[in-house]
Each structure stands twice: as C-alpha cells, then as structure tokens.
Amino acid sequence: MYQYLITEPKNHTLVIILNRPKVLNALKRDMIEELKDAITKFIAVPDLRGAVIIGSGDKAFAAGADISEFKDLESVEAAAASGKLGQDVFQLIEDAPKPIIAAVNGFALGGGCELSMACHMRIASENAKFGQPEVKLGLIAGYGGTQRLTQHIGRAKATELLLTADMINAEEALRLGLVNYVVPLSKLTEKCLEVLRKIYDQSPLAVALTLDAIGAGVKGEDGYLRERNNFGKALISEDGKEGTTAFLEKRKPNFTGK
C-alpha cells in the first residue's frame, strides 16, 4: 500500500515500519506524507488500540531527514513549509487519542529523534543512539526538536545536545528520562507490545482523556482545567460507571470505550 512504510495490524496493535533500510530509514517528504496517512487511518479504526513505530533493519530507527531533498529548497518560505509538514505530522502523532510507542532500534538522529519524541513513549534497544546533529550541517532542528527535547530532558541538557551535536546512547537516554526502557534488540518489539497490553486492559476512553490532558499541559494550555473537565467526562461515562461499580463489586470491569 505504501512505498516507504510497511503497516502490520495485529491483535489491536498497528506496527508501522519505516522501510528505507539502505539509507538508514531517512525520512523523505513522501515518507512523512505516508506516515500522516497511516496515523490518520490508525486513529479512525476502533479495533486498533495502540501503535508501534520501528525502523527496518537493526541499525536505525531513522537517521534523520533525507538531506538530498534540501537542495530544492531555495527560499526561507519553502524551507519553513518543509519544516511545517514534519511538525504537523509529528503533532498528529503526539495528539493521537491512542498510545503510540517508538521502538528505537538503532540510530534516532535529527528527524528520527524528533519522530521518536513525538510518540507517547520510547523503548530503546541497547544499540540505540539519540541526537540532533543539525548544527553540523549549518542547520537547526525543524520538526519540533528544539521544543520536545527541552520538554523531555530539560533546558540545560537539551541546549547542550542541540548546540554540540553530541549523541547519547540508550543508557544515557534512560537516565535523562528520554526513554522508558532499554532492552536487548531481540526483545524490543515484545517489550513494546507488553506495555501496550497493559494499556489495553484499561478503559479506552480514560486512556484517550488522559493523553488529551497530558498534551494540553505540554502545549502550554491550562492542563489543570483540561484535567478536571476530562475527569468529569470520565466519571459520568459508561466506562467510568462500569469501572467504579466493578471495583465496589470486586470484579474485573468490562470496558467498552464509551
């Protein structure tokens, strides 16, 4: 269906594979457009309750944007529009009402690091490396890296990485709070699915409302207001009534996502 992606739906989960292994899954504009289509369809399918994004092969999640496309950008406006495409698609991922996990199986650099940071969680293989090396090319991050890296690891360390182009390994990323887990490469997909299965036991509506409240605060909106309003929505929902009733009756709830 796609030229640069492979999508594999299975057991409520959509696995999206970035499929340009010969160039370490570098992100072409067309590939980002395909990612937009895949995520939009994923959101619209009720039976798909979570997604995993992973790179093809065992060397890279995505080693950045496809630099060869930059030669066609000959104005500030054209370059900014290119950045906006990446920002818009990555925001779509961050705003998804279902959990999306980045399975970082190697290099996540530049646009690849930015894509991983747009996901709700990151699980890294032991060989993973993260970085925003754009300054080496006389450029800066353009798909949200200056904002999300600061949000994830704090201003001081994010500034250092953005200005020095240094890479960090998986263990350092874990220490800084950039990733949730570090596992052997052979266990990477299974660890992502393990986390998602725990989420699938919860109310789909409560999961969506929680992601929405988190996102509001990250975007500078009144996160406390969103949280209490979403709490109200959850409390009077069918899932809220089922969950509280099941707790009092000491049984497992049967959530429907309503």
Cβ count near 230 (within 10 Å): 19
Residue 157: which of 176, 175, 141, 170 has the closest Cα? 176
* pLDDT number for residue 78: 79
Catalytic position from the list 33, 34, 77, 134: 134
* Ranges of each domain in the chain: 5-200, 204-248
* pLDDT tens figures, 173-209: 999 999 999 999 999 999 999 999 999 999 999 999 9
Does the pLDDT of residue 48 top 80, yes or no? yes
Active site (annotated) includes residue 94: no
CA distance linking residue 131 with residue 162, whole number of Å: 8
Q: Which of the following CATH numbers is that of domain 5-200: 2.40.50.100, 3.40.50.920, 3.90.226.10, 3.40.640.10?
A: 3.90.226.10
Catalytic position from the list 94, 114, 194, 227: 114
Longest pairwise C-alpha distance within the chain: 66
* pLDDT tens figures, 60-105: 999 988 878 777 777 888 788 888 999 999 999 999 999 999 999 9
* pLDDT tens figures, 107-150: 999 999 999 999 999 999 999 999 999 999 999 999 999 999 99
Active site (annotated) includes residue 134: yes
**CA distances to 12, 57, 105, 181, 256 from 184, in Å:** 24, 14, 9, 10, 35
* pLDDT number for residue 104: 98
Please say whether the beta carbons of 107 and 63 come within 8 A. yes
* pLDDT number for residue 119: 98
**CA distances to 98, 183, 189, 209, 210 from 229, in Å:** 19, 37, 35, 9, 11
Backbone dihedral angles phi then psi of residue 228, each to the nearest 5 degrees: -70, -35
